[in-house]
Amino acid sequence: MNWLSDITPPGIKKMFKQDDNQEALWTRCPSCEQMTFNRDLEHEQMVCPNCGHHHQITPVMRLFHLLGEDWERIELPETPDDPLKFKDTKPYSARLKDYRKRTGERDALVVGKGKIGDRGAVVAVQNFKFMGGSMGTAIGEGLLTAADEAVKSRSALIVVTASGGARMQEGILSLMQMPRSTIAVQKVREAGLPYIVILTNPTTGGVTASYAMLGDIHIAEPGALIGFAGPRVIEQTIREKLPEDFQRAEYLLDKGMIDRVTDRRELARELSEILSVLMPPPEIEVPVAANDEASTVAGEDGPLDDTLPKAAE
């Protein structure tokens, strides 16, 4: 009989509960099954000190560890809550209300700006705990806002992905965020600024098929699942057994699909080194070409969106 069975006093079981309860004191690693005191786990950026398993991390904690305590949140535009009046076992509007209460966020993307090393950076982080980090219109608007801010402040754009794919409750509107996110990336690229993607567990579906694989550099966390369809779906489709580490970060690195696999605790240092190569020192002002639309509109000539063809809007 497990010692956490029904005969265990409730006060003891409460200390080891594996859910979103803020009063839980310990966390069991799903990889090595060792118990870690939550305060120690947070000190390690939610990386298991015993086996190196990367637990999920909140967007705010992620931004703090990448940008430091002086990071600034970028407010994102609000989007319609339930444009299709979708309902499955419960209305989509009710699901949104529930997840907003659980996470304290309006949707699955949080954007912050600050510095990594001495280079400016705008960092957009997906929250897997908000409907599986699914991509809806809010994420599309958020990425466009992040791209505009990056161009305006002459900063790198860094996107941290964590998603099961497109949000089915928004139907075709969700799928349209794939080309819209591509426009966001193109804005940054035309301004001559770096676009870096950090792939975390999991990154799948329409997110992988769009902005997650458009980076100048792709860095993955150890063990992250990265792909379009999941391995079980692929196995059932082709009726063949896949390699054990198929679609994991290390496998993709070996096949040349990504550039690096980096421990979360080393990400800030590694990003600082990368940006020091890709961006000029802050004291050097880069001249703006007269025909560089993305750069011109980042100044006093008007909003960035004015440069886009009407069809692209």
For 117, left (φ over 0), alpha (ψ -120 to 50), or beta? left
Q: Which residues are bridge partners to 226 per DSSP?
A: 203
How far is the C-alpha of 306 from the C-alpha of 268, rounded, in Å? 34
Q: Is 150 annotated as a binding-site member?
A: no
If phi > 0 it is left, if psi is from -120 to 50 it is alpha, else beta; for residue 124 that is beta
Compute CA distances 287 → 9, 157, 276, whole Å.
68, 20, 18
Tell whether 32 is in a known binding site. Answer: yes
Rounded Cα distance, 47 and 51, in Å:
8
Consult the annotation and say whether 29 binds a ligand. yes
Please indicate if the annotation marks 185 as binding a ligand: no
The answer to whether the beta carbons of residues 235 and 193 sit under 8 Å apart is no
- Sequence ranges of the binding site for Zn(2+): 29, 32, 48, 51
Q: Which segments are annotated as binding site?
A: 29, 32, 48, 51
